Chains A and B, each alone.
Chain A
Amino acid sequence: MNQQATATTAKEIVGIYQPGSTHMVGDGFPVRNLFPSNELDREVSPFLMLDYAGPAVFFADRPAAWREGTSASWV
């Protein structure tokens, strides 16, 4: 495939993924992970991790802390 051809070629879809895991962060706030769960690695390089937080409503009487991360294992 030459340069010219690829510049106008539509990108093909590898796949469509739903959140591969949900983890609780901070003091109890669910975050949905799209990768590296879903076993996405080379397909998304240079990106390593994508967490989608919310939309979630917080109430003032709940302790609030937000953490990032790929899993709860290193909290």
Chain B
Amino acid sequence: MREHPHRGFETVTIVYEGVLSHRDSTGSAGVIGPGDVQWMTAASGIVHEELHEKEFAKSGGTLHAIQLWANLPKASKMSAPGYQTIVNADIPAVDLDGGAGRLRVIAGSFLGHKGPAHTFTPVELYDLQLKAGHHVQFSVPNGQNTSILVLQGRATVNESREVGEAELVVCKRTGSQIVIEVRQDSRLLVMSGEPIEEPIARYGPFVMNTRAELIQAAEDYQTGKMGHVS
């Protein structure tokens, strides 16, 4: 997408297949490929563009990716913007007991393995691959909102019905234990985080707490205060 702004939150891009490139108003630029994660903190404002990486665009191929937006607490919405480019090799890949599969810890922790992403509020983010006929059991902090997206395969979460590709399981805040079982090889994204209990004022690429802050954000972008992609 061509140049566009963000303020007040973070964007998390996870690439499973294909290659994406980005450039932004802070002068940062980079390329992320399979297994990599780009964690962009827009905070006070960033103007960026995202494209298929040049060689990938030329050769063609499969693109398989996720984009997740994480809100920032009021106290951090106007912090300085920044990027965490987290490459595949920096993400701990934990082999699950009994050859059940593999869990990559992007943020938070799993069995003592800490994810590399810095987050402003408590977040657990796992890339989970489970083998047919296996299960995994883990706990998330009580009170967090937890949801699980099936990317490939089919899975049962806490004795739910079997869910398939592109389906999302959303759990209640209370409780901690999660059991995911699969009958075929599956890949899932586990997202969990402490809710931010603050008012949300949202307009397209801006997520603030009040309408006045949204108007200010639009003005700041239009008057060039968020910069441009150089």
Count of interface residues, chain B, beta-carbon cutoff 8 Å = 69
Known interface pairs A49-B67, A53-B65; A64-B52 also in contact (CB < 8 Å): yes
- Taking a contact as CB atoms under 8 Å apart, the answer to whether B17 and A66 are in contact is no
Q: Is the interface of B mostly helix, strand, loop or mixed?
A: strand
A39 to chain B, nearest CB (A): 11
- Taking a contact as CB atoms under 8 Å apart, the answer to whether B63 and A54 are in contact is yes
Mark each residue of chain B from 3 to 27: 1 if its CB lies under 8 Å from any CB of chain A, else 0: 0100001010100111010000000
Known interface pairs A6-B142, A7-B139, A11-B178; A66-B20 also in contact (CB < 8 Å): yes
- Taking a contact as CB atoms under 8 Å apart, the answer to whether B71 and A48 are in contact is yes
B contacts, CB < 8 Å to A:
1-2, 4, 9, 11, 13, 16-18, 20, 50-52, 56-71, 121, 123, 139-140, 142-143, 145-147, 149, 151, 157-158, 160-161, 163, 166-172, 174-179, 191, 193-197, 200, 202, 204-205, 207
In the complex, besides A43-B147, A48-B9, 12 extra interface pairs with C-beta distance below 8 angstroms are A7-B176, A10-B175, A11-B174, A17-B168, A45-B195, A47-B71, A49-B68, A56-B64, A62-B60, A64-B52, A68-B1, A71-B204
